[in-house]
Amino acid sequence: MTGIGFSILWPSAAVATKFGLQVAQPFVICIVRFFVAGLLMLLISHGILRKRLPQKNEWKQLAIYGLLNISLYLGLYVLAMRNVSAGLGSLAIATNPVLFSLMNALIFGKRLRTITVVSLILCMGGVLLAAWPLFKNSYATPGGIALLLFCMVIYSAGIIYFSKQNWENMHILTINGWQTLLGGLFLLPFAIATYDSSKNAWGFQMLAPILWLAIPVSIIGVQLWLYLLKDNAVKASFWLFLCPVFGFIIASVMVQEPIGLFTIIGMLLTLAGLYLVQKYKSE
């Protein structure tokens, strides 16, 4: 259920971001989202649960992870979404397991198991089939797609960095809260430098999608993701394959993107790949 919950919440960010961009600047969305989410998590972690503050080298770990996972990945993702549809925004998430596996193999010399390769092929094939009807009607620019793919490379680097650090003595809310807040702080100078009051309509239409991004996505969704990463980073990355499937459903309901036979077949292939990688997972 943890993986399913993450796979539903995470792609909802693409649609929420598209709504937010209609009435707010990209970095304004980021700053409000990260500060609200980060401060709430730290209030729960340190104020209610009384968990300890990070110490010594842990601050460096949190800063690097926040830079990769929040400032660079999510900051650039919001910029990319100005020129990419919600469907394609969800689809890009599915490239992460491939990039993660390849980067892990290249950096650490790890061998790709046959069952992993088969699962990757099934999942990627399923995702491409599910996305095929959207390519005809989705709006995107070459720059937007390139930036989106670059985001996924950074996301993979963040996963690898997280998986190689020792987080056992820090509560998961502490990790998530500080990496989110620090990531927001790194983006703050850019938000201030580019702020234009005429491009931000403060009110319910702006705050509703941002609060969705802050609480269900940044707090609950990321908590689920960090839990999956701590359990098994390779296995966790495969849950990202389900994100486009749920992303298509959410986009269909919210922005009327079509779901047809290709989507159904693609979903079945994706589930088959997920079944294989979990049954024969590499510990």
Report CA dihedral (255, 20, 2, 49) to the nearest 10 degrees: -160
Is the separation of the CB atoms in 26 and 79 below 8 Å? yes
- Whole-structure pTM value: 0.82
The C-alpha angle 39, 179, 218, rounded to 5 degrees, equals: 65
* Burial (CB count <10 Å: 0-12, 13-18, 19+), residue 182: buried
The C-alpha angle 1, 38, 163, rounded to 5 degrees, equals: 55
Is the separation of the CB atoms in 14 and 251 below 8 Å? yes
Nearest partner of 274 among 235, 247, 245, judged by Cα: 235
- The whole domain housing 204 covers 2-279
Is the separation of the CB atoms in 281 and 234 below 8 Å? yes
Contacts of 171 (CB under 8 A, 6+ apart): 45, 49, 51
How many domains, in total, are found in the chain? 1
CB atoms within 10 A of CB 140: 16
**b/e map 79-112, b = 16+ CB within 10 Å:** bbbebbbbbbbbbbbbbbbbbbbeebeeeeeeee
Q: For each of the chain's 283 residues, which pLDDT tens digit applies?
A: 788 889 889 889 989 999 999 999 999 999 999 999 999 999 999 999 999 999 989 999 999 999 999 999 999 999 998 888 787 787 777 777 667 777 777 777 777 677 777 877 887 787 777 767 766 666 677 788 889 889 988 988 998 898 888 887 888 899 999 999 999 999 999 999 999 999 999 999 999 999 999 999 988 988 888 788 777 766 776 777 778 888 888 888 887 777 778 878 887 887 787 777 666 655 4
Q: Which two tokens mark 108?
A: 């650490």
Amino acid at 104: N
